[in-house]
Amino acid sequence: MPRRSPAVVGWAAIGYRTTTYDVPLWVTPNRRSGRWNLAGSGCAQYFCLDPDAPFAEALRHEDLRTEQEATTYRTTLWQARIDEAAVVDYSTFQKAESAGFPPEALVDDDYERCQAEADWLIRHGVAAVLSPSAALPDSMNVTVFGPRVEVSWNTERRLTSQMPVQRLQTSAPPLGLTSRVRYFGEVHVGLEAYLSARRRDS
């Protein structure tokens, strides 16, 4: 049976991301595939809703598991004002499942189902998707679809493609973060708790 069109909400918040290059946003297609995009096919802007989570994502992707390894890695932390009119809320496993999307796909080490879902969402006019962080359980991410142009922090947006951004710092990840990161191949404690509760209730 075909799925219903996605339910969308307006949503605004401060987001954080790290980069190892000098610009914070994509205006051309991403060069690498990610959870919600395929390389060379459109733009996806990845943000986290707390400032530790982008560092956790970097540690996970670089497989830096010790404090000594983490201190050798430096990246730039950016802050963005995100304001989108058509956002799909998969911020919890329950919300994703209620919308017809497999909850385990949100944090799966294989991105294929999320990439296919992103394609479906974009075709239905969705501008962004909220989802649990795969790297830092109990944190949340937002992925914004399409190119965005950096403007200064206090600029009043006149175009939907504009996004106010400012650089916060260039540094190593916070001390102690490696012990909180969920690395590839590890269990996601948030997903396990959700599945356990669902089994108890069934």
pLDDT tens, 62-92? 999 999 999 999 999 999 999 999 999 999 9
Residue 101 located in a structural domain: yes
Residue 47 located in a structural domain: yes
Q: How many domains does the chain have?
A: 1
Residues 151-198 have pLDDT tens digits of 999 998 899 999 999 999 999 999 999 999 999 999 999 999 999 998
Residue 4 located in a structural domain: no
pLDDT at 1 over 80: no
Rounded Cα gap, residues 88 and 91, in angstroms: 9
Residues 106-122 have pLDDT tens digits of 999 999 999 999 999 99
Residue 68 located in a structural domain: yes
Give the chain's mean pLDDT: 96
Residue 126 located in a structural domain: yes
Pair 130, 88: CB distance under 8 Å:
yes
Between the alpha carbon of residue 105 and those of residues 34, 67, 90, 102, 124, the distances in Å are 13, 29, 11, 6, 20
Pairing relationship of beta strands 140-145 and 149-151 according to DSSP bridges: unpaired
Domain that holds residue 106: 9-201
Pairing relationship of beta strands 9-19 and 128-132 according to DSSP bridges: unpaired
For the record, the structure tokens of 108 come out as: 């799966």
Residue 2 located in a structural domain: no
Residue 105 located in a structural domain: yes
pLDDT: which is higher, 2 or 35: 35
Residue 189 located in a structural domain: yes
